[in-house]
Amino acid sequence: MPMDRETQLRLVNLRDETGVLSLYVNADPRQEGSQPPWKKRLEQGVKTLLESVEPQLQDVLKRRLRDLDLEIERLVDPGAPGVGRALFIPLGDGESYTVEMQTPLTDRVALAPRSHISPMFAAWAEGSPVGIAVVDGKGMRILDSRFGRCSEISGLSFEAHTEEWRELVGPATQRNPWGKRQGQSGVTQTDLFDVRLNEHLTRFLAAAHTTLENHVTAFGWEFLLVTGEPELVEAASKHLSSALKTEVVASQRVLRQASPAQIQQTLAPETARARRARDERLAADFREAPPKAALGSAQTVEALQAGRADRLLLEFDSVWSGRRIPPGSVLADGLVPGDADAATSVAEARLGEQMIEMALASDARVSILGDGVRLPEKAEGVGAFLRW
């Protein structure tokens, strides 16, 4: 499954009375061993889970694991795509879901009445969807970049139809302000041809704003990077709707016919700077937002339940994002790591997942802030902008 808003909604709403088994692996190709170490960690986690549940549930788990043996093998296969991988299995024979991304995920096995999605939302801070528009004399290439992968999804080809233009030769005629001929200018007819061609190109790119706006909506891009010669970037950007729910970033890198992977790698520093700047602005605006802000879990949950939250904010490494749960943890209802701090992190991460679900259900935006960006101390890692 591609990681987009539809996937978010599907996974946060995934429930099963018997339980939902969430399996995460970090298939880092740099790790060595006679068999993939992430496979060993997953097998050990599943074994620990089976030993900890009651016999009746244990039988259900074993049956579902047998039924989905091929999917689990693919999850740990070194040749399968994706570094971070997750498999969600409703135990009541419902449809299973697989997510693959190039962004690393933590190893984890979890069993609960609902899917365990905090590791994926923590990864969202680093790899959320970005649109890229590469503009040049041939038109526009449109690419989708998310979670370490980049693919070309669309494009607009510029054709000037110059065969209908009358061919002129020699230097251009210079005229005075009243339109009378006044000798010859130093501009050639070729120069005028190029100017006319460039005018057609800029108008073509300016008219492409509706195409870009449709793609932003369809693909859920948090940023739209427009890159190329400055005048072409301006032409492609200036008519974009101010109501567009994305941030437009202008780049002057001329990438022409580079591959999607090369384009993504070249623009990675600018993408990271844009994310950081956006998150710092959000944190700064949040400090100035009261009384139209909820600080801390109690106020935030209350606002979400009332449908008042416009944007949910979670710190990257807070308990709400689930990043403080020890790697490799086995989580089940009633079973948490023995360490008291870890147990608190598990409980609060589950509350964080409920907040994410409530936010998405009320069409509020969810922002996992980048590493090091902090909310006011009183918020303790979670807050929300309010609609009223």
**What count of Cα atoms within 13 Å lies in the side-chain half-sphere of residue 287?**
10
Whether 324 and 317 have beta carbons less than 8 Å apart is answered as yes
| Radius of gyration over every alpha carbon of the chain, rounded to an integer in angstroms | 26
What tokens appear for 140 in the block?
């526009």
Name which of 132, 130, 135 is nearest 148 in CA terms: 130
What is the chain's mean pLDDT, rounded?
A: 87
**Residue ranges covered by each domain of the chain:** 1-116, 130-279, 289-388
Cα 335–Cα 125–Cα 94 angle in degrees, nearest 5: 50
Q: Which residue has the tokens 């949040």?
A: 286
Which run of H or E residues covers position 141? strand 139-146
Q: Which ranges of the chain have pLDDT less than 70?
A: 1-3, 31-34, 161-194, 334-337
| CATH number for the domain whose boundaries are 130-279 | 3.30.420.60
pLDDT of the residue at 164 = 57
Answer left, alpha or beta for residue 129, where phi above 0 means left and psi between -120 and 50 means alpha: beta
Choices 1.10.10.60, 3.10.20.30, 3.30.70.20, 3.30.1330.30: CATH for 289-388 = 3.30.1330.30
* Cα gap 205→154, rounded to integer Å: 14
Chain centroid to CA 343: 29
The strand pairing partners of 86, in sequence order, are 24, 99
Side chain identity at 61, as an amino acid letter?
L
Domain 1-116, architecture per CATH: 2-Layer Sandwich (3.30)
pLDDT tens digit sequence for 130-159 = 999 999 989 999 999 998 899 999 999 988
Side chain identity at 228, as an amino acid letter?
G
* Cα gap 10→5, rounded to integer Å: 9
Q: Which residue has the tokens 């970090």?
A: 26
3-state SS assignment for residue 87: strand
Side chain identity at 243, as an amino acid letter?
A
What tokens appear for 18 in the block?
């018997």
pLDDT of the residue at 161 = 64
What tokens appear for 223 in the block?
């940023």
In sequence order, which residues have a C-beta less than 8 Å from that of residue 307 and are 6 or more positions away? 362, 387
Q: What are phi and psi of 335, to 5 degrees?
A: -130, 115
pLDDT of the residue at 41 = 92
pLDDT of the residue at 187 = 47
What tokens appear for 242 in the block?
């101010």
